[in-house]
A = this chain, B = another copy of it.
């Protein structure tokens, strides 16, 4: 993509409304634009990142045996009256009356809808287990939306729902999600830490929150240093096998947010205790028959008896993750994208657009990288070098190629790694070999 064509409205000044770094950088880097309080439009650069995050989340859901569906944003109030949550949910639910005076709502979550689908479709224990997921926009009418996409009103979420015949099955489903979540966040370049959690308004008694480390994170995190030394991607996972030993290995390590951590009782030796900050990006719940019993989602068991299915629900904040990744990976100059979610892998700066030799060298590299399927954003604009350098650092692509008149004479370009800041003078061929 040529920057001269690209719709990338960067901002030079720090927007005054942005209190946290991810909000500031997403606005400055032209990723999102606020439409109304807590509601954003995603511009091309931001949407590319959102889609990459979504892709990795989907990939891990599929690997864990979940099947994708898509439920509507607008739900009928009756379903929530059936489950008993319609009155309880309060003002965060965006309530709507349609032209026929029917009570509707913009879904803040989808337990009721998915339970309705299940009860009208599945009759027999032989059709279990099932685990259905969607990646869908939701709405929670926060009283004070803030922090950009980290606490928006309209937000993008992966939510899934497991259906099992009994507790043992539900626990297997829960464990699969536990492992899939660790893998997902690790693939996004993050360090996830699962925390035993209260189940909150949604109900249930087995529940973990997933927090990713970020120095600028919202919550204080206390945990065993072993967390930082383990790579969830190291293990080869067989989702059909018993995952309990793996889950146990993780959950026996100490981890707590500040509201639960008590230095007086914490058993981790001080030199093994990591204190940091983090951001909640996922939550998993087992809640048994809470919805299936009230809504009549039953299957016939082996003895021909109707049994309410055991359910769990599992959520990942997909749009929130875009902010969380920036909180976890930035410096004073801007964003530092992990390769897995970078909107483009490479940014190429032409230091003298219009100069025949520079243009030629850039076009040749641009063509060769495109040929090799490397996504490149090519700054071909007629702008000062300083502006180009600053913007390229701001948008945080993992690799920068700088093509200038001096290097072109000797057949070399500069390759800079955004994260480390390391620079090398290389021939175009060597750059290609490095990046393809």
A35: which of B40, B76, B132 is its contact (CB, 8 Å)?
B76
Q: Do A121 and B9 touch (CB < 8 A)?
A: yes
Q: Do B39 and A74 touch (CB < 8 A)?
A: yes
- Distance in angstroms from A70 CB to nearest chain B CB is 4
Chain B contacts for A35, CB-based, 8 A: 71-72, 75-76, 113, 116
- A153 interface hit (Cβ, 8 Å): yes
Q: Do B94 and A69 touch (CB < 8 A)?
A: no
Q: Do A69 and B7 touch (CB < 8 A)?
A: yes
- A154 interface hit (Cβ, 8 Å): yes
Q: Which residue of B lies closest to A44 (CB)?
A: B67
Q: Do B74 and A47 touch (CB < 8 A)?
A: no
- A6 interface hit (Cβ, 8 Å): yes
Chain B contacts for A99, CB-based, 8 A: 91-92, 141, 143
- The complex places the Cα of A154 from the Cα of B75 at a distance, in Å, of 10
Chain B contacts for A42, CB-based, 8 A: 69-71
Q: Do A41 and B73 touch (CB < 8 A)?
A: no
This chain: copies in complex: 2
- The complex places the Cα of A298 from the Cα of B30 at a distance, in Å, of 20
- Distance in angstroms from A128 CB to nearest chain B CB is 10
- The complex places the Cα of A94 from the Cα of B102 at a distance, in Å, of 12
Interface size on A, residues (CB 8 A): 50
- A16 interface hit (Cβ, 8 Å): no
Q: Which residue of B lies closest to A11 (CB)?
A: B121
Task: Name the residue in A5, A40, A74 with the highest tally of chain B Cβ atoms < 10 Å from its Cβ.
Answer: A74
A69: which of B43, B69, B154 is its contact (CB, 8 Å)?
B43
In the complex where A33-B121, A69-B47, A98-B94 touch, is A74 in contact with B9 (Cβ < 8 A)? no
Q: Which residue of B lies closest to A163 (CB)?
A: B7
- The complex places the Cα of A308 from the Cα of B33 at a distance, in Å, of 21
- The complex places the Cα of A99 from the Cα of B122 at a distance, in Å, of 38
- Tell me the residues in window 194-239 of chain A with beta carbons closer than 8 Å to chain B beta carbons: none
Interface SS of chain A: mixed
- Tell me the residues in window 103-148 of chain A with beta carbons closer than 8 Å to chain B beta carbons: 104, 106, 113, 116-117, 120-122, 130, 132, 137, 139, 141, 143
Q: Do A73 and B73 touch (CB < 8 A)?
A: yes
Q: Do A121 and B73 touch (CB < 8 A)?
A: no
Q: Do A117 and B41 touch (CB < 8 A)?
A: yes
Q: Which residue of B lies closest to A142 (CB)?
A: B99
Q: Do A44 and B68 touch (CB < 8 A)?
A: yes
- Distance in angstroms from A375 CB to nearest chain B CB is 13
- A186 interface hit (Cβ, 8 Å): no
- A165 interface hit (Cβ, 8 Å): no
Chain B contacts for A137, CB-based, 8 A: 73, 137
- Distance in angstroms from A42 CB to nearest chain B CB is 4
- Tell me the residues in window 59-111 of chain A with beta carbons closer than 8 Å to chain B beta carbons: 65, 67-76, 91-92, 94, 96, 98-99, 102, 104, 106
12 example contacts (A-B, Cβ-Cβ < 8 A) are as follows A35-B116, A36-B104, A41-B70, A41-B71, A44-B69, A47-B68, A47-B69, A74-B94, A91-B99, A94-B98, A98-B141, A99-B143
* Top 4 A-B pairs, shortest CB-CB distance: A9-B121, A42-B70, A36-B76, A91-B99
Q: With contacts A35-B72, A73-B137, A99-B143 known, what are 14 further pairs, Cβ within 8 A?
A: A7-B69, A33-B117, A33-B120, A36-B102, A36-B104, A39-B72, A39-B74, A44-B69, A50-B70, A74-B94, A74-B154, A91-B99, A96-B106, A137-B137
